[in-house]
Amino acid sequence: MDPVTSRRWLRVLAFAAAALCTMVVTMTATARDTVVSAAFYQSVLDEESAYDRLYDQVLVDPKVSAVTRDLLAGLPVPEAVLTSNVKLVLPPETVRELTHEQIDAVVGYLNGDRDSLVLNVDLRPVLTNINDLAQIYFGDLVASVQNRAEPDFDAFSTDLSAALRDVVAGRAPATLPALPLSEEQAATAAERVLSTLPEQDRAALRDDIEVALADGDIATVLATVAPVAVSERTTDATARLRTLAGGNGWNLEKTLEASGNDLTALHRARAYTALGLGIVEIVAAALLVAALVVLWLTTSAAPGRRPMLLGWALAAGGLLTALVAVLVRVVSGGRVISPPGSWPPSLTRLVDDLQRTAVDDMVAAALYTALVPLIAGALLAGFGWALQVRPSLRTAAPYARVVAVGTCAVTLAGVVLVPLVASPSAARRCQGSVRLCDRPYDEVAYLTSHNAMSTTVDRFIGPLQDPAITTQLDDGVRALQLDTYRWEKPDEITARLTESDFSADQRTLIAGAVNKVNPPREGLWLCHAVCRAGAIQLVPELREIGDWMRDHPTDVLTLIVQDAITAEDTAKAFTQAGLSDLVYTPDPDPAEPWPTLGDMIDSGRRLVVFAEQADGPEAWYRNFYRYGMETPFAFRSPDEMSCVPHRGGTGKRLFLLNHFITADGGSRLDAGEVNTREYVLDRVDRCERERGRPVNFIAIDYTTIGDAGAAVDALNARRG
């Protein structure tokens, strides 16, 4: 073969190699920022609102109900209680964390960091939550039953046994017995109650039951005993969940294989991705440079000829990338797995939408990246063509090499960097939402726990919440109403009880405990009106709140303190709890705009603290009613709920909606009505029209009842 022919063939091979290497660099750069990027998959889930759809569509799909009923059959908690509190059994944060674990497993497998693909969901948190909900349920079952005095201990014991049988059977007893017990009688009654439990569980519960009996707190006795008494039923039902999943862990890969989806495409992809996309990208880029150099050296030196040929090679590579990306989309149809017909329609739609969005986003990223060599190549070819047809431009011919080198360098850099911009990544989240980072603090709605410290789990008399404070935060509460006190002296009890919202029976119970089982204690406390009705230490609880906030760095939290201690004592408690670096200082002028949640999170100052009485002296500790207004709070029935101005007057930037019923204490039954999503939204709409400001704090009793959290989510979504 003569030298001219050899040169021509070498030029053809260099052109083809340049085009192919351009495609490889483009595709590997795209794959690096999509296929093997955990942030990409997380962004797809957010783009399709997957977590919201799980609760709002999949778990309420009629096609799921048959399976759900079979799995839940035998649990001591009624199906309606589980399904209405599904976010307690399966919290959104737990779902997100478990999903991210599976994403990390897939990405690790594709990257070659893991030898095998194991998609395993740990069911233990869910099973634990079911047991916890059982405790709350039994507490609810007996909470509203009024005490009835018994004439003697034998009658008391008989009625206590009958009440326990009712609760274990899932029925609320008509009444609960009441009788002041001596220590000996309390011990005897405790033995009778414990005899109904499995022997291995008695020792752990003995002290709690004896103390509750000595306090006359029969409701707590039953709520403590009932879940253990029905543990065999709970064990049988949760065993069905374990059987379905194959143990405490649910292997999703085996489930998919059983449905005919063996993830073959994923395993095939790993054969390439596990080699290291970065290495392939570097080698392809080096070969591209070499091919372009050969193409330049084997091409005629005629004006414009070399840059034009290099431009066409780059453009051909970009065009080839675009064709491959479109072909992948057409052939795959936007699917990697095919949901079987046995899946409920809502789950099939969700999986199909996620697959389609993922494939479309990958194709879009590839097309955007392909534009870089296509446009750069077209410009370089155009430059060469101009040198050929315009003799007046040939004075620029000596610079053709500089232009060609510069264009190729920019093309390589663009191909590497464009996927970072073109491919979606996990969106920034504030307050758990991608929508709220740019929203001012005073335009956001917050689920607010009224008397957050008064909980069933902390053994308060007449509790207004069930879970502990940090559990409330886990469940979506983002504002806490807390009451700070010093332990009352005996002569202060009568006055405090008279002013409290306790029922007559509760007041009698508390008064009887004075200096007997609840002597005064030093220090600062979180109490509900009277510390003898229940108390938790202020500083340790604040420290736990701070730990929670540090574990959740993208959340803003508000405390509204009903302060019966001095502002100086409050400031000292916050310092001792280590919260000084978290507290946010509002503008001294309440009329000034608030920053966005994103700005507060970026600053690290994301704990807003208001007082009902104090105003300073610390700059971060401001009086709520200078900045905010509220509705009345002493509603005795849902029909009484109004939007009329109360403390704080009108026209303030912050708006507190007191949304709970107080009728001789909190009302669980009314909470079931007023805490529904529709009821909350209707009242918010009415009050916003009447008061001319968006509602910020929706304060409710019993945050685990109803779905006020969904109402808050809906408000924040539509305000965007």
| The two structure tokens encoding residue 190 | 């405790």
Q: Are residues 135 and 86 in the same domain?
A: no
Q: How far apart are CA 445 and CA 713, in angstroms?
A: 8
Residue 530: beta bridge partners?
528
Which amino acid, one-letter code, is at 90? L
Residue 172 has a pLDDT of: 61
172 domain residue, yes or no: yes
| The two structure tokens encoding residue 137 | 């349920």
Q: Are residues 376 and 515 in the same domain?
A: no
Q: Are residues 385 and 449 in the same domain?
A: no
Q: Are residues 396 and 284 in the same domain?
A: yes
Q: Check the CA dihedral 520-521-524-525 and report its sign.
A: negative
Q: How far apart are CA 672 and CA 692, in angstroms?
A: 28
Q: Are residues 179 and 95 in the same domain?
A: no
Q: Which residues constitute the domain of residue 576?
A: 441-719
Residue 422 has a pLDDT of: 57
DSSP secondary structure letters along 579-595: -TTTB----SSTTSPPP
State the angle between helix axes of 3-32 and 400-422 in degrees (0 to 180), rounded to the nearest 10: 30
Query: Contact at 8 Å (CB) between 624 and 648?
Result: yes
Q: How far apart are CA 717 and CA 381, in angstroms?
A: 49
Q: What is the pLDDT of residues 364-423, one digit of tens each?
A: 888 888 888 888 888 877 777 777 776 655 555 555 566 666 666 666 666 666 666 656
Q: How many CB atoms lie within 10 A of CB 454?
A: 28
- Domain end among 209, 237, 265: 237
Q: Are residues 462 and 366 in the same domain?
A: no
Structural domain total, the chain: 3
378 domain residue, yes or no: yes
625 domain residue, yes or no: yes
233 CB-near residues (< 8 Å, 6+ apart): 74, 75, 76
Task: Say if residue 345 is exposed, middle or buried (CB neighbours under 10 Å; 0-12, 13-18, 19+).
Answer: middle
Q: Check the CA dihedral 613-617-618-619 and report its sign.
A: positive
Query: Contact at 8 Å (CB) between 155 and 177?
Result: yes
Query: Helices H, strands E: what count in the chain?
Result: 29, 14
Q: Are residues 318 and 221 in the same domain?
A: no
Q: Are residues 682 and 653 in the same domain?
A: yes
Strands 524-528 and 530-537: antiparallel
Residue 419 has a pLDDT of: 64
CATH number of residue 697's parent domain: 3.20.20
Place of tokens 């003898």: 532
Place of tokens 């916050």: 574
Residue 557: beta bridge partners?
607
Q: How far apart are CA 640 and CA 585, in angstroms?
A: 36
- Domain end among 183, 214, 237: 237
Q: How far apart are CA 193 and CA 228, in angstroms?
A: 11
Query: Contact at 8 Å (CB) between 142 and 204?
Result: no
Task: Say if residue 601 is exposed, middle or buried (CB neighbours under 10 Å; 0-12, 13-18, 19+).
Answer: buried
Query: Contact at 8 Å (CB) between 366 and 296?
Result: no
Q: Are residues 212 and 140 in the same domain?
A: yes
Q: How many CB atoms lie within 10 A of CB 409?
A: 12
600 domain residue, yes or no: yes
Residue 384 has a pLDDT of: 73
Residue 276 has a pLDDT of: 63
429 domain residue, yes or no: no
| Closest C-alpha to 455, from 223, 655, 226, 707 | 223
431 domain residue, yes or no: no
Residue 517 has a pLDDT of: 44
Q: Are residues 266 and 381 in the same domain?
A: yes
427 domain residue, yes or no: no
Q: Is residue 102 helix, strand or coil?
A: helix
Q: What is the mean pLDDT of each run of 10 residues along the chain (720 residues)?
A: 73 86 84 80 80 72 60 50 58 75 80 72 64 54 45 64 66 65 74 74 76 71 66 51 51 63 68 68 82 81 77 86 88 78 80 87 86 82 74 56 64 63 66 87 96 87 86 92 84 61 60 54 84 87 93 93 94 93 95 94 94 93 96 90 93 95 78 89 95 96 87 87
Residue 120: beta bridge partners?
251
Phi-psi region of 652 (alpha: psi -120 to 50; beta: other; left: phi over 0): beta
243 domain residue, yes or no: no
548 CB-near residues (< 8 Å, 6+ apart): 470, 473, 474
Residue 532 has a pLDDT of: 74
Q: Are residues 533 and 680 in the same domain?
A: yes
Query: Contact at 8 Å (CB) between 524 and 573?
Result: yes
- The number of residues in the chain equals 720
Strands 249-251 and 120-122: antiparallel
- Domain end among 182, 212, 237: 237
Q: Are residues 553 and 696 in the same domain?
A: yes
Phi-psi region of 595 (alpha: psi -120 to 50; beta: other; left: phi over 0): beta
| The two structure tokens encoding residue 80 | 């309606």
Q: What is the pLDDT of residues 597-612, one digit of tens each?
A: 999 999 999 999 999 9
Place of tokens 């005899």: 195
Residue 149: beta bridge partners?
178
